[in-house]
Structure 1
Amino acid sequence: MGSEKKPTIIITGFGPFGEHSVNASWVAVQNLKRRDLLPHLDVHIQEIPVDYQEVSQIVPNLWKEKNPQLVVHVGVSGMANKITVEQRGNNTGYERLDVKGQRPKKKCCINDGEECILSGIDMSQVCDEINKAENELEAEVSHDAGRYLCDFSFYTSLSIDRSRSAFIHVPPLGQPYSEDQLGDGLAIAVSAMLKQLTDQKSS
């Protein structure tokens, strides 16, 4: 049993942008890895710049190189005060400029792609796991990931494999959760997602 291969998971966070000179998403992802909160998994973490061109290259490369069982993108939302789990990604409407002052050509993620793609993971079940855990964390499901780099990265992964792609928005640090709490929340969410995928395989 000791030599059994651990499932490979990719978790990404974003670099600084706008008023988020410290991006809570990357802090939370690093916290999860540093504290080894998912010891039963082979966790690869990656910081992604808030840059459309970079995301469109980095995300597919991660899928190709690691062949992961699950990819979870994490981003910060200044409007969130709970852990917010996204159910779908959108292809069009990318008007906002990235950190390099660019936006995608045709303001879309993938030319002639589906307008929106639903993740095969039931995010309401993921929220239930976070909400019933013995901590102060609260989670909710969202159906609009915001038409910026968060949504863009999520849709990119969904277009590669919608059954194994997820996105989580976290609030800024201290509003209201600490770095450790955010790390804990991500660990619960990832475990819940992986359990769903394992249950689907065995059913």
Structure 2
Amino acid sequence: MIPPDRVVLHLAVESYEEHLNAAFPSGDFIIFRGIALSSGQTESCCAGFPFSIRFSRSHLIHNVAFSRYIVFLCAYRRWTLKRIMDGGETVVVTGFGPFRQFLVNPSWKAAQGLKLVGLGEGIGVHIKEVPVSYVKLNHLLHVCVPKFAVHLGIARGSRVIILEQTGKNSGYSDKDVCGFCPESRCCVQAGPEKLDSAVNMKPISKQFRRAGMDVIYSRDAGRYLCDFAYYCSLYHGQRRAALIHIPVSGSLASADRLVPLLRALIQAMLQQLDGPSETA
């Protein structure tokens, strides 16, 4: 089989659309929409898969061939992502990228640890490092809607794990790592002010506290990027999402204690989603 970076995939072009996306505040871009067709070299793995790819106008002008051919890797990545997101028991776990003094964010380290240990037989784990950026994060979460999303964030000053129940839509006035905050100060225009996870976090936190674990319940995720990501996932993903704030200091911050506890917490959430509804 020809390597993905060497193969081109033919497109049945549906439309061109001039588009100025919030993720690209300056410049002139074109959305290239199409249906993937087999080129004969791809073994039809992407055939029939609809997707859109954004190109700058100048790039298209200087690369006329791209108006009919798109590098296979672009299509392949989107097809793979869609296959992951449509997987029956796949959990997507996100950790944040560099933030302030953290060149490697502890939440991303925790996500990597979960990938290594897994969540049990028959449950796939896909991890993603997400930027501490409102614009990039909003675009990513709008496009990628998994069956269940678990967002990991850091809670500076805390020595316990915090299970967040609620995502808030408005009040985002603190700037991200790019020095930006939403002009509207909200996640989704005209969206509900608050959204709760389909998972009832209170009985889970009680269960783990009774077992002597440092886990608490919260309805205030802080109105920063963690809260922003959580609300967007709840809004776009039918409330099948969780936000877990992890400590960055204390004994629980060590990977050998943190990762097994996170694994058990997520397993409890999945069991609740698959079982009868819980009451607080």
Normalising TM by the smaller chain, what interval? 0.7 to 0.9
Whichever residue aligns with residue 89 of structure 1, its letter is G
TM-score w.r.t. the length of structure 1 is: 0.86
TM-score w.r.t. the length of structure 2 is: 0.64
1:188 to 264, 274, 277: 264
More deviation in 8-17 or 32-41?
32-41
Q: SS of the counterpart of 2:191?
A: coil
Listed one character per residue, the Cα deviations across residues 20-75 of structure 1 (whole Å, up to 9, x for unaligned) are: 33311111110111133534311111000100011101112221xxx42x111110
Q: Is 1:23 aligned with 2:99?
A: no
Could you list the structure 1 runs, at least 4 aligned residues long, displaced by more than 6 angstroms after superposition: none
Cα displacement (A) at 1:87: 0.5
Cα displacement (A) at 1:18: 1.5
User: Which residue of structure 1 aligns with residue 130 of structure 2?
Assistant: 48
User: Which residue of structure 1 aligns with residue 230 of structure 2?
Assistant: 154
Measure the CA separation in 1 of the matches of 2:250 and 2:215: 16
Whichever residue aligns with residue 136 of structure 2, its letter is E
In structure 2, relative to structure 1, the CA distance for the partners of 1:73 and 1:143 (3 Å cut) is same
Give the aligned CA root-mean-square deviation in angstroms.
1.9
Contact map agreement 1:52 1:149 (CA 8 A) in 2: yes
1:105 to 183, 206, 229: 183
Whichever residue aligns with residue 96 of structure 1, its letter is D
Measure the CA separation in 2 of the matches of 1:158 and 1:175: 31
Measure the CA separation in 2 of the matches of 1:185 and 1:176: 9
Q: Is 1:139 aligned with 2:221?
A: no
Whichever residue aligns with residue 259 of structure 2, its letter is G
User: Which residue of structure 2 aligns with residue 36 of structure 1?
Assistant: 118
Whichever residue aligns with residue 104 of structure 1, its letter is P
Q: SS of the counterpart of 2:111?
A: helix
How many residues matched? Answer: 191
Ranges in structure 2 where 5+ consecutive residues have no aligned partner: 1-86
User: Which residue of structure 2 aligns with residue 116 of structure 1?
Assistant: 194
Contact map agreement 1:6 1:40 (CA 8 A) in 2: no
User: Which residue of structure 1 aligns with residue 64 of structure 2?
Assistant: none
Whichever residue aligns with residue 109 of structure 2, its letter is V
Whichever residue aligns with residue 91 of structure 2, its letter is I
Q: SS of the counterpart of 1:105?
A: coil
The structure in which a higher percent of residues are helix is 1
The structure in which a higher percent of residues are strand is 2
Measure the CA separation in 1 of the matches of 2:159 and 2:238: 27
Measure the CA separation in 1 of the matches of 2:138 and 2:131: 11
In structure 2, relative to structure 1, the CA distance for the partners of 1:60 and 1:39 (3 Å cut) is farther
* Structure possessing the higher radius of gyration over alpha carbons: 2
1:178 to 243, 250, 254: 254
